[in-house]
Structure 1
Amino acid sequence: MRRALFALVPLLAVLVVSARAPVASVATIPPAARDRGTYALATDAEARWVPFDITPGNQIRFAMQLDGRDVSAILDTGVSYTLLAKASPALDRTKLVAGGSATAIGGSVALGWMPTRTIQLGGLSRIGGGVTVADLPAIATGSAAAVDVLVGADMLAGHALDIDYAAHRFRLIRTGRLPFRGETAPLRVSSERSVYESAITLGGRRLVPIVVDTGDGSAITVTAAGWQAANLQGLRSTTTISFGLAGPAVSGLAIVPELHVGEMLARAAEVRIEPAGGFSQAIGTNGRIGSGFLQNYRVLLDPGARRMVLSRGPKADMPPLRSTSGLLVGIEKDRLKVLHVMRGGPAVAAGWKEGETICMIDGAPIPADYPTNPLAGWSAGTPGRVVRLGLCDGPTRNLTLESFY
């Protein structure tokens, strides 16, 4: 992750796989039978940039309109069908019908489906169609507040998506356009999973398919089999935790010297290694490229032209931020909660446990703006520094930072 390591990195890939697990007392409407709606791209779509901010979990968060109502949303090319949160004020329960189930990070989730009148996203509009409906907890975005919508491949794939991470804006334009120059990688929307897919080369081994998932806050994720095939000897590794719609998932974590995404060479890339039988393997892929990696570039995703274009941004060649504390924490109002103790890190040796809460750092309380406050940098501080962490139940512990992966 390129931002402060206080927060989890959420993983939000969702793939509709069946018409099971009804969530209403009416007949399920399978995906193939649903009204897909009518799409229109405005003639001035190229000028209709959508501003966004980056969540603490490295996701693209912005505002759009659903049935004339302003809603908050995350751009998520790893979601097959646009998803509305059950808790959103935009949900009309009188229209909610059973929607089956989906495979997600952490397991399976039950879905509903709600027809919509209109959706407006930048220069793209849709009349008719609908959205899937599921629980969307705030922890899935690494933020204190949940969002209303995950905008998925069904809304995006008919056009080219131009994401200017450095300027915090994106737009939808007609397919085939090339608004900037960069290095190219293959891209398609898979018929099997209905998400964006590409390939990477790691340790000289080409891994395909790899989901291109803007809703995944991590950098690169590979399966255990893919990591073994890459045969990268001598790299130190640790563990980390992620949260998806169905719950938490623990994976390995290492920094690799280099990897290729199509023509593009990336150095010192953060790679997560899923355990055998993990999410990527379960859906028949070899891993994911997430927003934690993509945010170092200007990105064009154009499955119609079968290409992804990456233009290096100012952070493209910077080494990833590494934890030196071995603690991954989440925010709970005025405190931090330990979500994971990283294998081999100093926090393990110091006896830290998941679930413990921190209320003071070097004598300072947890500020309201903690995600962007310089205080949050303690967990990736200079090796050898001693940090005083005050637990919320009273005692203070000293933690000596060190390099461990």
Structure 2
Amino acid sequence: MSAAFGRPIDILLGADMFTGSCIALDFAKRRMAVVKSGTFLAGPDWRAVALGRGAKQELFIRASVSGLPPVPLMIDLGSSAALMLSSAYARDQGLLNGKLVSTAAIGGVDGVRINDAFTIQNINIEGLGVSNVPTLGMRAWLSTSTVGNVGLPLIAQFDVVFDVTAGFVWLRPLGPRRRLPMLKDRSGLGLAASPTALTVVHVAANSPAEKAGWAVGDRIVAVNGHSIDANYTRGELWQVRSRPAGTLVKLTMASGDVRELRLADYY
């Protein structure tokens, strides 16, 4: 598992861990606590959010997307995407009207699939709002019980207590300085990492990378003079493409050439 993720994985919480337990996640301080189900006493600053079960037993909550009526969104703590929505739902509800929409690649056992990328103005969970949420529009959404999912970056905007046995998750808003960043790509480069290089597997539509002529198969061996190695995903180097718009990034190619890419908001 650690090899697959490219960084040490000390512990995985399986579904059995949530049965009969109450699990508190403190993302700001990188800690957790486990006690018996039914023992959490929520204070006035916590919001109780009912948990539902989908046709495949997936957990979901209901949330309002851009002011629309609440819809079921699966909770996926293993997802690095803040929010995923069915592209069909997004189109039907007019969520893409007047928005910058680009593309993004997601890898899986069946290969790389191209999906949509856009920004949702606001998502509201029981009165708790989060603004400017980077979102993936899934062109082949398979769930019949939900229209999308809430991933770890969005959940990490709150202190969280799960009590699956009781049927609730409690959320408490964090101050801006305590929230984990919801990283947004501003390069347009979809990259696959190896211990020595980054290989371009997708170039996002209308992105800085597309405008600069990048192509699938291009190989990067250094970012801003720092060589790619096995620790790439562990440090801050992989976050360079999420730096503010206008940032100039220098990328060293396998050929030795250095290419410059200026970051910009493209979705």
Scaled by the length of structure 1, what TM-score is found? 0.57
- Offset from partner CA, 1:368-397 (integer Å, 9 cap, x none): 543354544432334344433221133332
CA distance in 2, matches of 1:245, 1:314: 38
**Which residue pairs with 2:164 in the alignment?**
303
Q: Residue 39 of structure 2 aligns to a residue in which SS?
A: coil
Q: 2:215 matched to 1:353?
A: yes
Q: 1:284 to 1:249 in 2, by over 3 A?
A: farther
- Offset from partner CA, 1:45-100 (integer Å, 9 cap, x none): xxxxxxxxxxxxxxxxxxxxxxxxxxx79xxxxxxxxxxxxxxxxxxxxxxxxxxx
**Which residue pairs with 2:50 in the alignment?**
186
Q: 1:269 aligns with which of 120, 133, 155?
A: 133
Q: 1:351 to 1:312 in 2, by over 3 A?
A: same
CA distance in 1, matches of 2:109, 2:35: 30
> Any conservation in 1 of the 2:66–2:121 contact (CA below 8 Å)?
no
Q: 2:257 matched to 1:389?
A: no
Q: Residue 292 of structure 1 aligns to a residue in which SS?
A: helix
CA distance in 1, matches of 2:150, 2:247: 33
**Which residue pairs with 2:72 in the alignment?**
209
Q: 2:233 matched to 1:371?
A: yes
| Counterpart residue identity of residue 33, structure 2 | R
Q: Residue 205 of structure 1 aligns to a residue in which SS?
A: coil
**Which residue pairs with 2:118 in the alignment?**
254
| Counterpart residue identity of residue 313, structure 1 | L
> Any conservation in 1 of the 2:7–2:231 contact (CA below 8 Å)?
no
Q: How does 1:43-192 map to 2 (within 5 A)?
A: 138=4, 143-144=5-6, 151-181=13-43, 182-190=46-54, 192=55
Q: 1:170 to 1:266 in 2, by over 3 A?
A: same
CA distance in 2, matches of 1:194, 1:148: 26
> Any conservation in 2 of the 1:199–1:206 contact (CA below 8 Å)?
no
> Any conservation in 2 of the 1:188–1:304 contact (CA below 8 Å)?
no
Which structure: larger Rg? 1
- Offset from partner CA, 1:97-131 (integer Å, 9 cap, x none): xxxxxxxxxxxxxxxxxxxxxxxxxxxxxxxxxxx
**Which residue pairs with 2:94 in the alignment?**
231
Q: CA deviation at 1:331?
A: 2.4
Q: Residue 225 of structure 1 aligns to a residue in which SS?
A: helix
> Any conservation in 1 of the 2:221–2:253 contact (CA below 8 Å)?
yes
**Which residue pairs with 1:342 in the alignment?**
204
| Counterpart residue identity of residue 199, structure 1 | R
| Counterpart residue identity of residue 98, structure 2 | G
Q: Residue 205 of structure 2 aligns to a residue in which SS?
A: coil
Q: 1:209 to 1:158 in 2, by over 3 A?
A: farther
CA distance in 2, matches of 1:250, 1:328: 10
Between the two proteins, what is the percent identity of the paired residues? 24
> Any conservation in 2 of the 1:185–1:307 contact (CA below 8 Å)?
yes
| Counterpart residue identity of residue 171, structure 1 | A
> Any conservation in 2 of the 1:205–1:229 contact (CA below 8 Å)?
no
> Any conservation in 2 of the 1:297–1:311 contact (CA below 8 Å)?
yes
> Any conservation in 1 of the 2:100–2:266 contact (CA below 8 Å)?
yes
> Any conservation in 2 of the 1:258–1:269 contact (CA below 8 Å)?
yes
Q: 1:199 to 1:336 in 2, by over 3 A?
A: same
| Counterpart residue identity of residue 251, structure 1 | N
- Offset from partner CA, 1:182-206 (integer Å, 9 cap, x none): 122221344x212211111113323
> Any conservation in 2 of the 1:258–1:268 contact (CA below 8 Å)?
yes
Q: Residue 304 of structure 1 aligns to a residue in which SS?
A: coil
| Structure 1 residues without counterparts, runs of 5 or longer | 1-71, 74-136
| Counterpart residue identity of residue 321, structure 1 | L
**Which residue pairs with 1:94 in the alignment?**
none
CA distance in 2, matches of 1:209, 1:382: 32
CA distance in 2, matches of 1:386, 1:215: 31
Q: 2:189 aligns with which of 296, 304, 327?
A: 327
CA distance in 1, matches of 2:34, 2:58: 17
Q: 1:145 to 1:318 in 2, by over 3 A?
A: closer
Which stretch has the larger CA shift, 289-298 or 241-250?
241-250
> Any conservation in 2 of the 1:186–1:262 contact (CA below 8 Å)?
no
Q: 1:375 to 1:251 in 2, by over 3 A?
A: same
- Offset from partner CA, 1:292-340 (integer Å, 9 cap, x none): 2112211112233222211122447787433222113232112222232
Q: 1:378 to 1:296 in 2, by over 3 A?
A: same
CA distance in 1, matches of 2:128, 2:247: 37
Q: CA deviation at 1:147?
A: 6.0
Q: 1:193 to 1:307 in 2, by over 3 A?
A: same
Scaled by the length of structure 2, what TM-score is found? 0.83
CA distance in 2, matches of 1:150, 1:374: 23
